[in-house]
């Protein structure tokens, strides 16, 4: 794959090479687009999928400035 490289002016560095877009253009296609419920068999799998996707709200571990000794 050919990468697009741009030359840009940077303060203190002069002219530098910057990597451009590395993704392929386009949109997802197909009948099953966005049909995640049909791909999971049981209710437990669906709940696990949702909890993993929203682990910020359901998770017990916290990182960085959100970490507290005593939970609220």
Q: What whole-number percentage of the chain has pLDDT above 70?
A: 78
- Please tell me the number of Cα atoms within 13 Å of 20 on its side-chain side: 9
Q: 20 near 5, Cβ under 8 Å?
A: yes
Domain that holds residue 39: 35-60
Q: 8 near 15, Cβ under 8 Å?
A: yes
Q: Judge whether 46 lies within some domain.
A: yes
Count structural domains, the chain.
1
Q: What whole-number percentage of the chain has pLDDT above 90?
A: 19
pTM: 0.40
Q: Judge whether 22 lies within some domain.
A: no
């Amino acid at each position: 794959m050919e990468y697009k490289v741009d030359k840009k002016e940077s303060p203190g560095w002069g002219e530098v090479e910057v990597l451009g877009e590395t993704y392929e253009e386009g949109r997802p296609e197909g009948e099953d687009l966005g049909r995640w419920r049909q791909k999971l068999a049981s209710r437990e799998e669906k709940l696990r999928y949702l909890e993993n996707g929203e682990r910020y709200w359901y998770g017990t571990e916290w990182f960085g400035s959100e970490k507290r000794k005593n939970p609220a």
